[in-house]
Structure formats: C-alpha cells, structure tokens
A and B are shown apart, each in its own frame.
Chain A
Amino acid sequence: MATAATETLDTPFTIGGRDFRSRLMVGTGKYKSNAEMIAAIEASGAEVVTVAVRRVDLDRSKDEAILHHLSPERFFLLANTAGCFTADETIRYARLARAAGFNEWVKLEVIGDQQTLLPDAAGTIEATRVLAAEGFKVMAYTNDDLISALRLEDAGAVCVMPLASPIGSGLGLLNPFAIRTIKSRLSVPVIVDAGVGTASDAAMTMEQGVDGILMNTGIAAATDPVRMATAMRLAVDAGRLAYLAGRMPRREVAVPSSPTTGMLDK
C-alpha cells in the first residue's frame, strides 16, 4: 500500500521557513554523464540538489555548466562551498553563489584537512555568523560533535549538517549516539551530510530521528546509480517511517511470538 505509507510520512518538512517535499537531498558530482545524473536525481525524488561554484573554462575544452542540464524551476539549487579551507574564502564563494540569483541558501563547508576533508568547526562557525548576518540561509556542514552543532545554531545556521563519516568514504553512520545527541539538543533541523554508502546506512541514519540526509557519492559511485538512487529514496522513507513508528525495545532474551499454550501432548 504505497499510498498508505506516503500518508503516514511527515513530509513536507520545514527548514529556515521553507517547506521541502523530500528528506533526501542529493549532490550532482562524480556522475559518468549528465544523462545519468539527471536519471539518478529523478529516481531519488530529491527536491534539493547541491552544486559547486567553479571558474568557467574559458577555452571551452569542457562544458561543465550544470544549469544546461538542471532546471532551477524544477529543483532547489543549493550551492556549496566545497573546496574552501578558510572562513574568508568560504564567504567569498557563498556571495558568488548568491549573485547567481537563484536563492540565498548555502551549504557551508569549511574544510580543515585535505586528507580527511573533515570540517573546521571554528572556521564554519565564523563564516556562519557573517553570512547569517547578511541574510543567508546557512546549512552548515560539521562534525558529529554536539558543541560545534550548538555553536552553529547560535551563530544563525538554519540547519546543522553533521557527517555520518568522511566525505566520499561510504563508511556509513559511525556514531549513531552522537547524531542522536545532536538531534535531541538542537532546535533547528539536523540533516546528516556525507558518508552514507548504501541503503541500510540511509535507513539507519534516518532511524536516529534526524530530519534528512544529503548524499552524493553513495549514489553517483554505485555501479548502477539510478537503481541506488531509488534504493536511497525508499531507505530514507523507510528509516523515517521506522523512527516515527517507534522501534521495539532491545532485549537480550528471546520472547516467543507464538502462544506458549495449546501445544500437543501437554
């Protein structure tokens, strides 16, 4: 009963005063072709799609402009600041993205380490404060650390985005406890960003009660990205439904599901 399941999902949900119809947000990087990217995004059911800001290739040896393929009327374009290592650089990229004229939202990333791509919490907090004061809706990528998350909320982030595991690692949800703790203490929505590798990772992440997931490599680097996008859509919905349904308590003893009375020869 697909319709019954849909009716019990609590979407749309709200971030920064705007309603979003899907709890799955997807990136647009690393696809083998634009056609595959579009097909995967369609299959994911995502409304929010992230894009990066880069120099135009003046010689046109490669045409990378994503707007030739993604309609801003159909998708909510969320610019990221991927590749930025300082607050100042990040702020510059966010302002460039806003000047594109689609919206004032930014997925803020200040990377602290080239090898692990782990976020620089101090830089992210600083950039969030500046951009929020300029009217940006800041979705802040950060560690699975409660204190950074609280500081980002204080700095004006409309949403905090702790990682499941490092960007592009596909290691899944490494610290469910930390993610639950963050979710239980923040007032703004929590979207887990990065590290989700397959459908079970997505479901498990959603079962922690977070508001959504943003992923890119988990879909783009699958052998069949379109199938995986479908799996991720179903897993995010399944995980959300399981969270709303409330799981049974864990018991380290067996409890029979069938009647213990009425057995033969008793």
Chain B
Amino acid sequence: MPNRQRATIFQPMTTQVAHEPSALELTVNGERRQAAPGTTLASFLTELALDPRMVVVEYNRTILRDRNAYASLALASGDVLEIVHFVGGG
C-alpha cells in the first residue's frame, strides 16, 4: 500500500484527480510526511499542533509572509515545506 501511494507522486495531476483521492506526499523539514487530500497549510499546522504565530513557513522555497494566506493554501503532493522557529542562540 505505501508503495502504491508513493507512486502517485510521479503521475501527472490530471491522472491523480481522476482516481480515488490518495494521501499527499510532502517533504517537511527534510522528512517525508503524508497528509489527507484537501489539507491546507493551516490545517496541516494544526495537525502538527503548531501555532502559526510561532513559526515561519517556507513553501517550495518561497517564504510566506502572510499568515492569513495559510487557510487558502491547498497542499499538493511533491510540496516541500520548511517550518522554522526561533531557538536559543548567540
């Protein structure tokens, strides 16, 4: 089952839409993660129990400066997210 899901990444969007919705394959902070179809950036952060005000998201190498846009950003297979925050440093 996981193999079949992974294979969908490499199929064109049109093929994917025609099939039963399968999990989105994402790369998040260098790790492979799955999300349900229809997941937005806002709902994905909620799933990860992250407060959007505490993090910054880089979406496919573009830094998102408007947190209000998270709710309307639908994630897609192949998306690469970097989620960063402030930690102790000198």
Contact = CB atoms under 8 A, between A and B. Distances in A.
The answer to whether A and B interact is yes
B90 A50 contact: yes
A102 to B, nearest CB: 9
Interface stretch (B14-22, B70-78, B81-89): B81-89
A118 to B, nearest CB: 15
A216 B89 CA distance: 8
Interface string A39-70: 00000000000111111101010001111100
A160 B54 CA distance: 29
Contacts of B89: 27-29, 50-52, 80, 82, 216
Contacts, number: 97
Q: Kindly name the residue among B48, B63, B83, B87 whose own CB sees the greatest number of chain A CB atoms within 10 A.
A: B87
B29 A216 contact: no
A66 B86 contact: yes
Given A56-B29, A56-B84, A216 B56 contact: no
Given A58-B48, A96-B56, A30 B30 contact: no
A65 B90 contact: no
A47 to B, nearest CB: 16
Nearest to A59: B31
Contacts of A27: 88-90
Nearest to B65: A99
B9 interface: no
A21 interface: no
B86 A51 contact: yes
A58 B33 contact: yes
Contact of A79 (B33, B55, B86): B86
A217 interface: yes
A41 B75 CA distance: 41
A93 to B, nearest CB: 9
Contact of A53 (B30, B31, B84): B84
27 contacts: A27-B88, A27-B90, A29-B90, A51-B86, A51-B89, A53-B56, A53-B86, A54-B84, A54-B85, A54-B87, A55-B83, A56-B84, A58-B33, A58-B48, A65-B86, A65-B87, A67-B85, A77-B86, A80-B89, A82-B89, A96-B58, A98-B65, A99-B64, A99-B65, A194-B90, A214-B90, A216-B89
The 5 closest A-B pairs by CB, nearest first: A52-B89, A27-B90, A216-B90, A28-B88, A51-B86
